[in-house]
Amino acid sequence: MGMYDNKFSKDVGSFFRSPVREIFKRVDLNAIYSFAGGYPSAETFPLEDIRRTMSEVIDRYGGKAFQYGATQGVTELREAVAARYAVPVERVQITSSSQQGIDVCTRILADPGDVVLTSNPSYLGALQSFRSYRTDVRGVSHQNGPGALREAYEKAISQAEADGKRIKFLYMIPDFQNPSGESLTLQERKVLVELARIHDFLIIEDSPYRELRYDGQHIPTMYSLDPDRVVHLGSFSKIFAPGFRLGWIIAHPDILDKIYVCKQSLDLCPPVFDQYVAAEFLGSGRLDANLKKTIELYKSKRDLMLGLLEKHMPDGVCWTSPEGGLFLFLTLPDGFDSVRFYDRALDAGVAYVAGVFFHTDGSGVNTMRMNFSFMSPERITEGIRLLSSLVREALDSKVSQ
Amino acid sequence: MGMYDNKFSKDVGSFFRSPVREIFKRVDLNAIYSFAGGYPSAETFPLEDIRRTMSEVIDRYGGKAFQYGATQGVTELREAVAARYAVPVERVQITSSSQQGIDVCTRILADPGDVVLTSNPSYLGALQSFRSYRTDVRGVSHQNGPGALREAYEKAISQAEADGKRIKFLYMIPDFQNPSGESLTLQERKVLVELARIHDFLIIEDSPYRELRYDGQHIPTMYSLDPDRVVHLGSFSKIFAPGFRLGWIIAHPDILDKIYVCKQSLDLCPPVFDQYVAAEFLGSGRLDANLKKTIELYKSKRDLMLGLLEKHMPDGVCWTSPEGGLFLFLTLPDGFDSVRFYDRALDAGVAYVAGVFFHTDGSGVNTMRMNFSFMSPERITEGIRLLSSLVREALDSKVSQ
């Protein structure tokens, strides 16, 4: 027995490592064809605008930009977020990353054993956080259409009630979901909000990709359907730059009050200088100008990837066609094991994330999450060609099956 | 019953607000004489050096500085911290503030009901974190000398054992403690490390002020006395600038591994650009050049404050004479209630933190924490004059007693 074996808390027993982050430890992302991360393309970071804005922040705020700040976030950034999303500023809390938004909501809402409902598959970082608090995470597979969705969730809710369990919240990424890339229709959103009302649980709406829409019309947020029951999480990572680690929570002030006190002991306040930079970027219109270019770039990359898959992937492989976001989701023939296949792909120089890791129940073994934002068009082209030939080879040889 | 009354987790019931942060919500720190915060003086932030360094980071790292980073922190900063404190880089985790270091250690080590030992008084933000996890926080009043210290801690340990409780760790700020400003001697550090070995618990050594020494000799860290049993927390907040929200943990790799996985779900990684700026500042020697000036400034402010207290405070008031850090601690005559007195002081335009808030047992009602780093010498002078006259008035009238 090691020196520390009896030292750790019970929560530690439920921690699990992100397989995505483990990939990043193992390989240099720039040395392989990587469809694995959820990384924005570095070329979307407006370096010269950022340099100028940083200098302006130093001129305008001086030492205040490097001092401790308010736990809720600096007023300028809260006001800019409130104005952008047309919500009262009392409903805005700035977070040290959108991941912190997920984590702090779980912390203030759920006790060990409480049920957290989510889609199956769902965002890995959220599953890590839910499990780290020893909650009972239950994934619901989505069928198309509001009727089927209602039925699937009603079944999960009845099951939880039959098990004598408390449902604390439903976690949902309604826009361009990670990992599937798919969105909920307005009708589907309404069904889930109605179920939350009937069965009296909250909804955490995680919305990092919402502004990256390439086709179709914006669909109302779940928050807009019931602002007192839905907690809305946002992020600067995909619309500005993840290196600032800034996000926000929009919620009823009674919920934000608990988050505020929790955040005091978590890290006192979000990074202050970075918040002023983000506020200036938002307020000056630089963020929107840059976002417009980012959307054009990612739309072209998505189109490129869809065309390449069509052209190169063997029969029996299918994929989602997302209207926005960073990911599409590949489904291979039954029996294909994308975890076993992974080492071969990585040896050949191409990375993805095995879909099973996003599933709450060990299903999705024949799926892969594919990112289209990170690499250049040239490398996407070569990477899809390579991956397709490896998949074809595996399907032909049946070695991976 | 409100809509959210049955929604929150059990932890929320143990959250308590920082009275210090509540003061900051209530008043504009620049409009009053504030001895309340633990704020560095904004004049110590080297704005032009920071501006130049930020521009250099953009030139050197480009988009990488704004991308997602490693959960452990960026290599350059980990290496700079490892070199500065002569520890292996595998023992360095960068945190999104030193407060996060305290919080994440509590999270991975303690279950509800576990005993956390600390000095009485102790750092308020640490008490918030410990209590938020529903631990059993037990403060030990320090008597001078290693023998008395051993006796006091042995008593607390025996009591915990008699109560059938598990001691998970001892939390200690050995250098220029917050709030008292006092340090542990080498002999006292050895006593505590020995007790931790005998009774098999860990020690969290929180060390944000260590490099701010104005007199006397550096005393070895508790970490150096037992690097496998002591977890050392550091911070850039007092030696560089708190607005970056960066700190570090130095610990055995088996402990860091749990912290690493926990941090994945907390916030993925620390702010990336800020880390590169801190690494450049450390590596270029700019941090040390600036720190030298900061130490001179704070030493002169401490001397000023000690002289003013001597001159203006009425008989019966005494205070600590710290060799470093940001605080000194005032003890008023028995019966003086510094919480009741607080409103009168604030109305007159002077703020401090009532000492009772740092105590684990409601004692210290007649004490005050006084910061000497934040204000200008002129405002320190006027503020101490004002506070002294208010104290004199209160003692004369006995109204506050």
pLDDT digits (tens, 9 = 90+) for A334-379: 999 999 999 999 999 999 999 999 999 999 999 999 999 999 999 9
Q: What is the pLDDT of residue B68?
A: 95
In a domain, B298, yes or no: yes
Confidence of residue B401 (pLDDT cuts 50, 70, 90): very low
**Chain B interface includes A272 (CB < 8 A):** yes
Task: Give yes or no for a contact between A98 and A206, defined as CB atoms under 8 angstroms apart.
Answer: yes
**Chain B interface includes A13 (CB < 8 A):** no
Task: Give yes or no for a contact between B136 and B115, defined as CB atoms under 8 angstroms apart.
Answer: yes
CB-CB under 8 Å, B271 with A244: yes
**Chain B interface includes A125 (CB < 8 A):** yes
Q: What is the pLDDT of residue A144?
A: 83
Residues of chain A found within 8 Å of residue B40, distances taken between Cβ atoms: 67
Mean pLDDT, chain B, whole residue set: 95
Helix B47-61 with B272-283: angle, nearest 10 deg: 110
In a domain, B3, yes or no: no
Contacts 24+ apart (CB under 8 A), B134-140: B134/B10, B134/B11, B134/B14, B135/B106, B135/B110, B135/B111, B135/B168, B136/B165, B137/B360, B138/B360, B139/B359, B139/B360, B139/B361
**Chain B interface includes A47 (CB < 8 A):** yes
Confidence of residue B400 (pLDDT cuts 50, 70, 90): very low
**Chain A interface includes B297 (CB < 8 A):** no
Measure in Å the smallest separation between the Cα of A254 and chain B Cα atoms.
8
**Chain B interface includes A66 (CB < 8 A):** yes
Q: What is the pLDDT of residue A105?
A: 98
Helix H or strand E segment including B193: helix B186-198
Residues of chain A found within 8 Å of residue B271, distances taken between Cβ atoms: 96, 243-245, 271, 274
How much of chain A exceeds pLDDT 70, in percent?
99
In this prediction, the answer to ipTM > 0.90 reads yes
Return d(Cα B357, Cα B354) in angstroms, integer. Answer: 6
Confidence of residue A1 (pLDDT cuts 50, 70, 90): low
In this structure, what token pair is assigned to residue B232? 């050392």
Mean pLDDT, chain A, whole residue set: 95
Task: List all residues 6 or more positions away from B356 whose beta carbon is below 8 Å from its beta carbon.
Answer: B338, B339, B362, B363, B364, B365, B367
Domain boundary among A284, A308, A338: A284
The residue of chain A with its CA nearest to that of B7 is A109
Judgement on whether residues B280 and B145 belong to the same structural domain of the protein: yes
Task: Give yes or no for a contact between A224 and B49, defined as CB atoms under 8 angstroms apart.
Answer: no
Q: What is the pLDDT of residue A400?
A: 46
Q: What is the mean pLDDT of residues A276-286?
A: 96
Judgement on whether residues A158 and A171 belong to the same structural domain of the protein: yes
pTM for the model: 0.96
Residue B143 is part of a domain; what is its CATH number?
3.40.640.10
Residue A316 is part of a domain; what is its CATH number?
3.90.1150.10
Judgement on whether residues A143 and A195 belong to the same structural domain of the protein: yes
Region of poorest pLDDT, from A141-145, A189-193, B391-395: A141-145
Q: Which residues of A228-292 form beta strands (DSSP E)?
A: 230-235, 247-250
Q: What is the tally of structural domains in chain A?
A: 2
Residue type at A112? P
Q: Which residues of B161-274 form beta strands (DSSP E)?
A: 167-172, 202-206, 230-235, 247-250
Domain boundary among A284, A304, A323: A284
In this structure, what token pair is assigned to residue B215? 């007199």
Residues of chain A found within 8 Å of residue B102, distances taken between Cβ atoms: 265
In a domain, A75, yes or no: yes
Residues of chain B found within 8 Å of residue A7, distances taken between Cβ atoms: 109, 168, 202
**CA nearest neighbour of A372 among A332, A322, A326, A341:** A326
In a domain, A99, yes or no: yes
pLDDT at residue A401 above 60? no
Helix B253-267 with B98-109: angle, nearest 10 deg: 110
CB-CB under 8 Å, B45 with A66: yes
**Chain B interface includes A265 (CB < 8 A):** yes
CB-CB under 8 Å, A47 with B15: no
Q: What is the pLDDT of residue B19?
A: 80
Query: Which range marks the domain in which residue B321 is found?
Result: 10-45+288-397
Judgement on whether residues B275 and B126 belong to the same structural domain of the protein: yes
Helix A186-198 with A146-162: angle, nearest 10 deg: 20
**Chain A interface includes B118 (CB < 8 A):** no
In a domain, A58, yes or no: no
Task: Give yes or no for a contact between A124 and A357, defined as CB atoms under 8 angstroms apart.
Answer: yes
Residue pLDDT, tens place only, B344-389: 999 999 999 999 999 999 999 999 999 999 999 999 999 999 999 9
pLDDT at residue A212 above 50? yes
Q: What is the pLDDT of residue B142?
A: 93
**CA nearest neighbour of A209 among A291, A125, A110:** A291
Residue pLDDT, tens place only, B19-57: 877 777 777 777 889 999 899 999 999 999 999 999 999
Q: What is the pLDDT of residue B49?
A: 97
Q: What is the pLDDT of residue A19?
A: 80
Give the nearest partner residue to B271 out of A4, A21, A271, using CB atoms.
A271
Give the nearest partner residue to A273 out of B99, B244, B258, using CB atoms.
B244
**Chain B interface includes A59 (CB < 8 A):** no
